[in-house]
């Protein structure tokens, strides 16, 4: 009996002990290799890091069907191109004609998503910024320079992304704080007003000395007051040109003053030699003196010394890329430049790619004699003896010309082995991943030409600065038409022409594009490219809203006209 009692006691104790071991704290767990938002957005360092996240968000917009390709393919500079057997999505954008590829309903889904992801990062930081308690220097109502600088940079990036979206799609949902709501499209004016307010804030609050050009080696790519003033001018010109209205709440003199401020800062200047702005135009294949390769041939290398480099004097603002991309979560590369390379083979210094944006011969032929910009901008396959080894049969809409300014680059043939010739992308040299060419959004030449267009008293001088650098003779007076032509040559293949066309009026844009009709070769066979003015006008020059997003909104989003 005693033993029985003992058993009961043991059992009771065990039961109590075993059954009371679990408490709620047992269930509380925190991630070990990530943070959660409750313990972030607290300090200045957090804010700076989140700001870099916004820049990165903007960087991510270069994949999918990015605005650069939209502008080039849709303009009169380039055709769609790509592989002979590829789908006709690029042709659909080139002609602004849904019939080119009826099943393509989501060409822009990745683009659309990447922009709103970037905008979310900006909105999120802007919302969290007032709650950041720990600033390195004392924060008070007057002296919160760092906070305002961060806010200014963030709002610039947001404005930049909205400007891209509104130019591509016109009717877009507009949100200035994070939201999961199903948001209908805003009017273009509403969107432009947010863009203008953001850029004015950036111009007013980013200190002029925040990122001096002298330290471009470490700060190139940062948003400066000058970048904000320059972008504001571009926004103003596009809006007032395309919509023929001047109701943005910012005046033309204010815009011009901003540009004059950029010029007066003396931070920027034109480079003496136009071609040094571009890698493929300035790189050359040179012989290594006295060095022989296997087989006794002279050894060759890619001489890059004439390239002016990233962040040179002429760069007002650039979208930066790095060669560190991989398939494991690093996406820092230029997402579209691979589309620009010639298909199938490296032709050092030009690297291979997917053959998009074949150049319209009309543009090549339009350059005045002696204009140095022509050879710096265009690869001439015949003139440069590439055509004989280029596989025309694999190319759609082959014209004999392709883009040089933004061509990937490649190392020359080594050891006489053509196959081992590799891309010159840095990093892992994966031609699809590691492209690190920056996209220069705003060059100083654009500041000069915009200021001239806006009626600067120094208009002729500004114009001539650009004009004479190209090897042409100075002029005594300039008209708007002169400036438009100059812009066409100066900014060819920089993703600018299409918007310049649109802001000259939809009719003019449609007619100009239609006039660029051409007979080309697709798969080696003659292919007549024609444009239907009514189709271009039907879309008003804007792109197709991704069908997936319309579906996800349950019909709250409305598809653009003509699509």
Which residue from 1, 2, 33, 289 is in contact with other proteins, where contact means CB under 8 A? 33
11 binds other proteins (CB under 8 A): yes
CB atoms within 10 A of CB 304: 15
443 binds other proteins (CB under 8 A): no
Of the pair 166, 259, the CB lying nearest other proteins is at: 166
Of the pair 222, 404, the CB lying nearest other proteins is at: 222
Scan residues 287-346 and list those touching other proteins (CB under 8 A): 301-302, 304, 309-311, 320-324, 327-332, 344-345
Of the pair 77, 153, the CB lying nearest other proteins is at: 153
Q: E strands within 345-443? A: 352-353, 378-380, 401-403, 439-443
530 binds other proteins (CB under 8 A): no
395 binds other proteins (CB under 8 A): no
Residue 107 is given by DSSP the state T
Burial 472-488 (b: 16+ CB within 10 A, else e): beeeeebeeebbbebbb
209 binds other proteins (CB under 8 A): no
81 φ/ψ angles, rounded to the nearest 5 degrees: 65, -140
Q: Where do the H-state alpha helices sit in 129-187?
A: 145-169
89 binds other proteins (CB under 8 A): yes
Minimum gap (Å) between residue 222 Cβ and other proteins: 6
Distance of CA 484 to the CA centre of its chain: 22
473 binds other proteins (CB under 8 A): no
50 binds other proteins (CB under 8 A): yes
d(CA 69, CA 63): 10
Give the range of 42-50, 268-276, 356-364, 479-487 binding other proteins by CB under 8 A.
42-50
Which residue from 43, 265, 375, 391 is in contact with other proteins, where contact means CB under 8 A? 391
d(CA 316, CA 276): 16
Of the pair 505, 523, the CB lying nearest other proteins is at: 523
Of the pair 3, 289, the CB lying nearest other proteins is at: 3
375 binds other proteins (CB under 8 A): no
142 binds other proteins (CB under 8 A): no
d(CA 15, CA 382): 89
Which residue from 241, 361, 505, 523 is in contact with other proteins, where contact means CB under 8 A? 523
Binding-site residue total for other proteins (CB under 8 A)? 117
396 binds other proteins (CB under 8 A): no
Give the range of 32-40, 237-245, 366-374, 494-502 binding other proteins by CB under 8 A.
32-40
16 binds other proteins (CB under 8 A): no
Cβ distance 378 to 407 under 8 Å?
A: no
Residue whose structure tokens are 């065990």: 14
Burial 110-149 (b: 16+ CB within 10 A, else e): bbbbbbbebbbbbbbbbebbeebeebeeebeeeebebbbb
563 binds other proteins (CB under 8 A): no
Which residue from 136, 137, 143, 179 is in contact with other proteins, where contact means CB under 8 A? 179
Q: How far is CA 409 from CA 252, 268, 337, 516, in A?
A: 41, 27, 10, 29
Give the range of 171-179, 194-202, 286-294, 462-470 binding other proteins by CB under 8 A.
171-179
Scan residues 68-87 and list those touching other proteins (CB under 8 A): 85, 87
Provide the β-strand partners of residue 318.
440
d(CA 203, CA 210): 12
36 binds other proteins (CB under 8 A): yes
Work out the end-to-end distance of the chain between its first and last CA atoms, rounded to an integer number of angstroms.
91
516 binds other proteins (CB under 8 A): no
Of the pair 5, 481, the CB lying nearest other proteins is at: 5
Scan residues 401-440 and list those touching other proteins (CB under 8 A): 411, 417, 419-420, 422, 424, 426-430, 436
What does the block give as tokens for 257? Answer: 């003053």
Which residue from 43, 63, 176, 219 is in contact with other proteins, where contact means CB under 8 A? 219
Q: Work out the burial of residue 325: count CB atoms within 10 Å of its CB; fewer than 13 is exposed, 13-18 middle, 19 or more buried.
A: buried
113 binds other proteins (CB under 8 A): yes
């Amino acid at each position: 009996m005693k033993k029985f009692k003992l058993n009961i006691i043991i059992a009771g104790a065990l039961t109590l002990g075993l059954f009371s071991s679990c408490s709620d704290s047992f269930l509380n767990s925190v991630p070990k290799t990530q943070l959660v938002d409750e313990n972030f957005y607290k300090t200045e360092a957090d804010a700076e890091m989140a700001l870099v996240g916004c820049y990165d968000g903007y960087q991510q917009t270069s994949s999918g069907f990015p605005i650069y390709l939209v502008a080039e393919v849709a303009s009169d500079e380039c055709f769609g191109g790509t592989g002979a057997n590829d789908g006709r999505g690029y042709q659909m954008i080139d002609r602004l004609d849904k019939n080119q590829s009826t099943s393509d309903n989501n060409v822009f889904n990745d683009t659309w998503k990447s922009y709103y992801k970037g905008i979310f990062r900006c909105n999120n930081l802007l919302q969290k910024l007032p709650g950041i308690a720990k600033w390195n220097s004392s924060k008070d109502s007057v002296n919160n320079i760092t906070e305002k600088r961060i806010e200014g940079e963030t709002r610039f990036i947001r404005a930049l992304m909205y400007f891209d979206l509104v130019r591509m799609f016109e009717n877009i949902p507009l949100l200035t704080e994070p939201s999961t709501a199903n948001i209908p499209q805003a009017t273009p004016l509403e969107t432009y007003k947010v863009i203008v307010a953001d850029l004015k804030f950036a111009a007013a609050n980013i200190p002029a000395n925040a990122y001096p050009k002298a330290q471009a080696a470490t700060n190139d790519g940062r948003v400066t007051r000058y970048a904000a003033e320059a972008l504001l001018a571009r926004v103003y010109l596009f809006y007032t040109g395309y919509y023929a209205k001047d109701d943005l709440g910012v005046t033309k003199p204010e815009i011009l003053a901003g540009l004059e401020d950029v010029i007066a800062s003396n931070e920027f200047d034109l480079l003496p030699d136009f071609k040094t702005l571009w890698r493929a135009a300035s790189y050359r294949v040179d012989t290594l003196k006295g060095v022989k390769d296997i087989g006794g041939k002279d050894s060759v290398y890619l001489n890059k010394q004439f390239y002016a480099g990233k962040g040179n004097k002429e760069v007002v603002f650039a979208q930066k890329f790095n060669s560190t991309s991989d398939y494991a979560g690093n996406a820092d590369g230029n997402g579209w430049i691979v589309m620009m390379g010639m298909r199938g083979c490296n032709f050092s210094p030009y690297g291979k790619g997917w053959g998009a944006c074949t150049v319209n011969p009309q543009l090549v032929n339009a350059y005045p004699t002696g204009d140095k910009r022509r050879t710096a901008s265009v690869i001439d396959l015949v003139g440069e003896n590439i055509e004989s080894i280029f596989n025309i049969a694999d190319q759609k809409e082959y014209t004999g010309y392709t883009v040089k300014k933004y061509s990937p680059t490649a190392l020359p043939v080594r050891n006489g082995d053509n196959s081992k010739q590799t891309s010159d992308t840095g990093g892992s040299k994966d031609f699809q991943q590691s492209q690190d060419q920056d996209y220069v959004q705003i060059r100083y030449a654009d500041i000069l030409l915009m200021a001239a267009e806006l009626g600067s008293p120094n208009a002729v001088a500004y114009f001539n600065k650009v004009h004479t650098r190209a090897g042409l003779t100075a002029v005594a007076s300039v008209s708007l038409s002169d400036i438009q032509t100059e812009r066409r040559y100066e900014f060819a293949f920089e993703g600018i022409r299409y918007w310049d066309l649109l802001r000259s009026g939809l009719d003019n844009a449609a007619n100009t594009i239609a006039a660029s009709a051409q007979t080309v070769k697709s798969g080696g066979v003659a292919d007549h490219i024609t444009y239907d003015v009514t189709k271009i006008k039907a879309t008003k020059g804007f792109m197709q809203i991704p069908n997936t997003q319309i579906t996800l909104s349950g019909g709250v989003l409305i598809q653009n006209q003509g699509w």
